[in-house]
Amino acid sequence: MVYAIDRSVITKTGENGEHLSSVSATYIQAREIEQAGVTAGMRVLEVGSGGYNAALLAEVVGADGAVVTVDIDPDITARATALLAETGYGDRVRVVQLDAAHVVPGEELFDAIIVTVGVWDVLPAWLSQLTPEGVIVVPLRMNGVTRTIAFRRDGDRLVSTSTEVAGFVPMQGDSARPERILRLPDPQGGVVSLRFDVGVPDDPRLLDGVLATGRSEAWSQVEVAGSESFADLYLWMAGFLPGFCLLHAEEGTTLSAERGWFPFGVVRGDSFAYFAFRPAAGGSGSELGARAYGPHGEEAAAAMAAQIRAWDRHARRGPAPTFAYWPAGSGGPGEASGNVAVLEKTHGVFTISWPAVS
Ligand SMILES: C[S@@+](CC[C@H](N)C(=O)[O-])C[C@H]1O[C@@H](n2cnc3c(N)ncnc32)[C@H](O)[C@@H]1O
């Protein structure tokens, strides 16, 4: 496991089996170091400790640089401290037990901050510790969809310089932002769970018994080839489709037995729809669309199909989206125009901009 570059090693599990800490997959560590542009002589803060990534950072910054790694969990900092000492990095990395929602005491500014835990917002403590030219790399959750984004300052806002797809364990402590889960029992047995980041339904009881109601579907006429990645379609939905949620269907549910569904959905009052595909009419590839449950399922499925068409028209063949963040107290993004999704966060406003397709 340790030598598999694309696997993380779980180092701590919670009471309910949830992953609390891991040593990230080595390709993710390498990419974050690259995204942050870490070079010799830099001062770097790592949020979330394991030991190994801090040792890599110590090698990159060299004797003239500095590496500080913080973790909220005393078991993790104790382990990292011991392993770093054993492997000769004891005096090259400072390990601090701290909730990273707070400033690291006794430190100057950092040239790079690498966050290795999934977060919902860019925290003021981090920006207050970053040099004016510094880079911060954060795995940011945007309505349930996470991208690891490198940001640099541009006036009073942050602008993205690179983006990667990667998953991390969620942030704990004062800035934790757990998702809300709605569990829908299937009359066949098992449970379908809907996970909301924002936009939790006002009255979740409206969905009671929804899996026992009639089904409907809507198709978009948008076709994809087997080899095409459409990961950005989820990001498009997360930005533009109100009621967007993640979906998990337990074994035994009707949904889990169905081939051709994706773990994303949308709720409209007493109904919900989920992403689906079927063989394209022409014979090759698949057509994207939505299937739904509930009295207004058709409406929910149609809303999803409409956004699939919008993604196809405005984003699918264009350049990748860019991201910006306006901390509270800065000018803010103003009136959004074009294909810009605006997400309100606790400490600022975040935008996802899809460049026009030429
Ligand atoms: C993926 S692990 C870090 C992996 C490490 N960077 C490595 O690759 O070796 C994420 C860590 O973030 C820590 N964490 C979670 N919430 C935190 C918080 N509020 N402040 C500091 N650390 C936190 C967890 O305890 C966990 O150990």
The CATH number for 126's domain is 3.40.50.150
Measure the CA–CA gap between 155 and 61, rounded to whole angstroms: 27
Q: Which of 120, 169, 177 is the pocket-test mutation for ligand 1 (most atoms within 8 Å of CB)?
A: 169
168 ligand 1 Cβ < 6 A: yes
323 falls within a domain? no
216 tagged catalytic: no
Ligand 1 atom at minimal distance to the Cα of residue 171: 16
* Predicted local distance difference test score (pLDDT) of residue 150: 98
Note whether 43 and 169 are same-domain residues. Answer: yes
58 secondary structure, DSSP code? H
333 falls within a domain? no
302 falls within a domain? yes
Ligand 1 atom at minimal distance to the Cα of residue 173: 19
Residue whose CA lies nearest to ligand 1 atom number 15: 171
Residue whose CA lies nearest to ligand 1 atom number 26: 21
List, run by run, the mean pLDDT of 10-residue segments along the chain (358 residues).
78 84 85 97 97 96 97 97 97 97 97 97 97 97 94 96 89 91 91 89 88 93 85 92 92 87 91 93 88 95 96 90 94 80 94 86
**173 dihedral zone (left: phi>0; alpha: psi -120 to 50; beta):** left
130 ligand 1 Cβ < 6 A: no
The alpha carbon dihedral of 228, 234, 236, 242 has a sign of positive
**Encoding tokens for residue 35?**
């995204």
173 ligand 1 Cβ < 6 A: yes
Residue from 24, 49, 162, 220 carrying the catalytic annotation: 24
* Predicted local distance difference test score (pLDDT) of residue 34: 97
68 ligand 1 Cβ < 6 A: no
335 falls within a domain? no
90 ligand 1 Cβ < 6 A: no
Three-state DSSP at 62 gives: coil
* Predicted local distance difference test score (pLDDT) of residue 44: 98
At which of 175, 206, 237 does a domain end?
175
Q: Which of 45, 59, 73 is the pocket-test mutation for ligand 1 (most atoms within 8 Å of CB)?
A: 73
The alpha carbon dihedral of 204, 206, 212, 215 has a sign of negative
158 secondary structure, DSSP code? E
Residue 26 domain boundaries = 9-175
Note whether 165 and 26 are same-domain residues. Answer: yes
Measure the CA–CA gap between 105 and 223, rounded to whole angstroms: 54
Note whether 19 and 154 are same-domain residues. Answer: yes
Three-state DSSP at 304 gives: helix
Q: Are strands 9-13 and 66-71 parallel, antiparallel or unpaired?
A: unpaired
For residue 88, report the distance from its CA to the centre of ligand 1, in Å. Answer: 22
Three-state DSSP at 14 gives: coil
Note whether 163 and 223 are same-domain residues. Answer: no
For residue 60, report the distance from its CA to the centre of ligand 1, in Å. Answer: 21
* Predicted local distance difference test score (pLDDT) of residue 117: 96
264 ligand 1 Cβ < 6 A: no
For residue 91, report the distance from its CA to the centre of ligand 1, in Å. Answer: 21
* Predicted local distance difference test score (pLDDT) of residue 311: 95
Q: Which of 117, 126, 171 is the pocket-test mutation for ligand 1 (most atoms within 8 Å of CB)?
A: 117
Overall number of domains in the chain: 2
186 falls within a domain? yes
Note whether 158 and 18 are same-domain residues. Answer: yes
341 falls within a domain? no
pLDDT tens digit sequence for 45-100: 999 999 999 999 999 999 999 999 999 999 999 999 999 999 999 999 999 999 99
Residue whose CA lies nearest to ligand 1 atom number 3: 48
φ and ψ at 129, to 5 degrees?
Answer: -105, 5
Helical pair 26-35 and 52-61, crossing angle rounded to 10 deg: 40
304 falls within a domain? yes
Cα–Cα distances (Å) from 307 to 179, 243, 302, in that order, read 23, 13, 9
List the one residue out of 122, 132, 49 whose CA is nearest residue 324.
Answer: 122
* Predicted local distance difference test score (pLDDT) of residue 188: 87
Length of the chain: 358
128 falls within a domain? yes
